[in-house]
């Protein structure tokens, strides 16, 4: 029997795609092995994380990406120049969308990352939002990191968060936040919608405001994006902020600002007309080329007319954008909205400059959203889903050594949500009441839930009491998982537990 026989639908579909590709047998086997492992791991991945697309959607999208966007896949051999290049750039793979090519390490995770990276990702955000391009980059990287998780943290029988694979933890955190807030379906639409007529960021803002009645989470997210930007990218944003300040000062005198803007538009329009004449008249272009070169030192001279023409076209695009910006801001309604937008961005980016504080602020606002959402929940399944999500969320990395649950201020907030969710489940009889002492009951259940057991419904508990207090044993069905102890006050008449001692009991009803 073939290793991939139980995957016959996906295996046959991928085989048909590979038949039309000039991949080596080594590459084909790597792709088939990747699909096989994803199929094995996906059930556990879905169980633990909850905010995921179906296995069918996930695999179909991967196969379609290989079919449409992968024509050349190369594996970097150990100690080769290609491998050194990957190491230098600290990446699993590099992709070239135009040439539809991939260079990757020979691992399932690396090839999965490459396929995710080469797929089209739009995440359209209006160009007038200063941090728009930066947020787009975060979402693209977050999507890639999210896609490899099924192979990175799962192996077909366990959820292992100790993986030492490094990635951009902040980008992943932001993506996971938005995934839990918006759901995979919305993020997929945002990623794949190749038009500019839908404002997904506005829809996000509107949805969050429905639960929280404010914009605090998004503002804290923007600050986190801004503070985590690479040096050069942040410098460009800071430079733009300086320009905003200058424009705002001019906008205070509205009449003069409008008059100056009109005059600038006239000058730019005349300049654009001259460029268009030169681009449509070779003799005029040659004359301008010679004139420009005559002013330059030898080492800075433009090589040829073709290179000069590219420079002129680029200059034309720049001028056209300036004209469009002026035309936009001269409209009365746009004047007011643009002024407000620039004020908002300056206020945002001039606030807290501490990355650690920005992480805590953004996560507390994220948890406020989850709490508001939890308050509206009534059914067993949706409350259990949020318990799974909170458990998963606790294990998200902030650095190589720090998880979300390691940050006390955030963990205290998570604790509050766990308590509320567990109380709701106790009230509807969906979880076993261990003790009538509310605090003890919560501490026991919280201890049981803080585990990497795949299915929480498989948790079994047994208890014993000795001279040192209450002994709690946690089982993954029949397999022992861990043991802990709680100090309790033993009264002669006081009943500590509502369940029998030395007998395994099921936590969830």
CA dist 243 and 381 (Å) reads 51
- Which run of H or of E encompasses 275? helix 254-280
Helix, strand, or coil here: 55? helix
Q: What is the DSSP letter of 430?
A: -
Whole-number pLDDT of residue 454: 96
Helix, strand, or coil here: 155? coil
Residues 392, 398, 399, CA angle at the centre, nearest 5°? 130
The percentage of the chain sitting over the pLDDT mark of 90, rounded to a whole number, equals 77
Backbone angles phi, psi at 485, to 5 degrees: -140, 140
Each residue's pLDDT tens digit, 22-73: 999 999 999 999 999 999 999 999 999 999 999 999 999 999 999 999 999 9
Query: Region 272-301: what's the mean pLDDT?
Result: 89
Query: Region 448-460: what's the mean pLDDT?
Result: 95
Helix, strand, or coil here: 127? coil
Buried b (16+ CB within 10 A) or exposed e, 38-51: bbbbbebbbbbbbb
Does the pLDDT of residue 149 top 50, yes or no? Answer: yes
Question: What is the edge-to-edge ordering of all strands in the sheet holding 459-466?
Answer: 479-486, 469-476, 459-466, 505-506
Helix, strand, or coil here: 469? strand
Q: CA of 112: how far to CAs of 77, 167, 414, in Å?
A: 18, 14, 32
Each residue's pLDDT tens digit, 95-113: 999 999 999 999 999 999 9
Whole-number pLDDT of residue 4: 46
- Which run of H or of E encompasses 506? strand 505-506
Whole-number pLDDT of residue 3: 47
Per-residue confidence band for 494, with pLDDT thresholds at 50, 70 and 90: low
* CA dihedral (232, 236, 239, 244) positive or negative: negative
CA dist 13 and 225 (Å) reads 40
User: Could you tell me which residue, 492 or 346, shows the higher pLDDT?
Assistant: 346
Q: CA of 48: how far to CAs of 146, 322, 353, 386, 452, in Å?
A: 14, 50, 35, 11, 9
Contact (Cβ atoms closer than 8 angstroms) between residue 366 and residue 217? yes
Beta-carbon contacts of 82 under 8 Å, excluding residues fewer than 6 positions away, are 74, 76, 103
Backbone angles phi, psi at 77, to 5 degrees: -75, 150
Whole-number pLDDT of residue 492: 53
* H-assigned helices in 99-199: 108-118, 132-152, 169-182, 184-192
Rg (CA), the chain: 29
Per-residue confidence band for 366, with pLDDT thresholds at 50, 70 and 90: very high
Does the pLDDT of residue 1 top 70, yes or no? Answer: no
Each residue's pLDDT tens digit, 290-337: 888 888 888 888 889 998 999 999 999 999 989 998 998 898 888 988
The closest alpha carbon to 339, from 441, 245, 479, belongs to 245
Q: Which residues pair with 480 in a beta bridge?
A: 475
In total, the chain counts a number of residues equal to 509
Give me 29's structure tokens. 């086997």
- Which run of H or of E encompasses 490? none
Does the pLDDT of residue 2 top 60, yes or no? Answer: no
Query: Region 225-240: what's the mean pLDDT?
Result: 92
Each residue's pLDDT tens digit, 156-178: 889 999 888 889 999 999 999 99
Buried b (16+ CB within 10 A) or exposed e, 68-79: ebbeebebbeee
Cβ atoms < 10 Å from Cβ of 219: 18
Give me 328's structure tokens. 């936009």
Q: SS3 helix, strand, coil % of the chain, rounded to 5?
A: 65, 10, 25
Does the pLDDT of residue 8 top 60, yes or no? Answer: no
Each residue's pLDDT tens digit, 427-442: 999 999 999 999 999 9
Tally of helices (H runs) and strands (E runs) in the chain? 19, 7
CA dist 392 and 402 (Å) reads 15
What's the whole-number average pLDDT of the chain? 92
Per-residue confidence band for 271, with pLDDT thresholds at 50, 70 and 90: very high
Give me 122's structure tokens. 């739009």
Per-residue confidence band for 200, with pLDDT thresholds at 50, 70 and 90: very high
Contact (Cβ atoms closer than 8 angstroms) between residue 49 and residue 184? no
Does residue 53 come out as left (phi exceeding 0), alpha (psi in the -120 to 50 range) or beta? Answer: beta
């Amino acid at each position: 029997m073939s290793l991939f026989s139980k995957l016959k639908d996906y295996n046959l579909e991928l085989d048909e795609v590979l038949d039309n590709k000039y991949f080596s047998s080594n590459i084909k086997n790597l792709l088939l092995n990747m699909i096989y492992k994803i199929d094995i791991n996906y059930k556990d991945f879905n169980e633990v994380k909850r905010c995921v697309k179906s296995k069918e959607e996930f695999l179909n999208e991967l196969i379609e990406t290989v079919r449409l966007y992968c024509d050349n896949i190369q594996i970097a051999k150990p100690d080769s120049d290609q491998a050194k290049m990957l190491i230098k750039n600290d990446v699993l793979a590099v992709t070239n969308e135009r040439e539809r090519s991939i260079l990757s390490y020979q691992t399932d995770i690396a090839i999965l990352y490459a396929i995710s990276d080469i797929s089209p990702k739009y995440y359209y955000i209006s160009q007038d939002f200063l941090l728009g391009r930066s947020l787009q980059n975060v979402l693209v990287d977050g999507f890639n990191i999210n896609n490899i998780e099924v192979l990175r943290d799962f192996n077909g029988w366990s959820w292992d968060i100790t993986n030492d694979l490094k990635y951009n933890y902040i980008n992943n955190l932001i993506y996971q936040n938005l995934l839990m807030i918006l759901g995979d379906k919305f993020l997929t639409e945002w990623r794949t919608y190749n038009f500019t007529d839908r404002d997904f960021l506005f829809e996000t803002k509107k949805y969050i405001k429905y639960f929280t009645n404010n914009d605090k989470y998004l503002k804290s997210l923007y600050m986190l994006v801004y503070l985590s930007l690479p040096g050069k990218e942040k410098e460009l944003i800071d430079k733009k902020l300086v320009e905003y300040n200058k424009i705002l000062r001019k906008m205070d005198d509205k009449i003069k600002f409008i008059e100056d803007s009109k005059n600038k538009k006239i000058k730019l329009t005349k300049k654009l007309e001259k460029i268009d004449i030169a681009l449509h008249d070779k003799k005029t272009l040659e004359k301008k080329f010679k004139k420009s070169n005559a002013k330059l030192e030898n080492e800075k001279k433009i090589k040829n007319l073709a290179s000069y023409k590219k420079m002129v076209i680029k200059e034309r695009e720049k001028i056209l954008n300036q004209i469009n910006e002026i035309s936009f801001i001269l409209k009365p309604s746009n004047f007011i909205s643009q002024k407000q937008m620039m004020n908002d961005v300056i206020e945002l980016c001039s606030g807290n400059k501490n990355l650690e504080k920005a992480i805590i602020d953004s996560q507390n606002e994220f948890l406020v959203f989850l709490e508001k959402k939890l308050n509206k929940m009534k059914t067993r399944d949706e409350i259990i889903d949020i318990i799974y999500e909170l458990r998963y969320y606790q294990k998200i990395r902030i650095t190589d050594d720090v998880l979300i649950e390691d940050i006390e201020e955030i963990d205290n907030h998570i604790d509050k949500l766990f308590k509320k969710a567990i109380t709701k489940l106790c009230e509807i009889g969906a979880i076993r009441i261990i003790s009538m002492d509310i605090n003890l009951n919560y501490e026991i259940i919280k201890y049981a839930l803080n585990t990497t057991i795949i299915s929480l419904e498989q948790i079994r508990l047994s208890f014993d009491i000795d001279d040192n207090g209450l002994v709690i044993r946690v089982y993954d069905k029949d397999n022992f998982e861990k043991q802990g102890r709680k100090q309790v006050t033993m009264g002669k008449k006081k009943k500590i537990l509502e369940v029998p001692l030395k007998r395994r009991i099921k936590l969830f009803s």
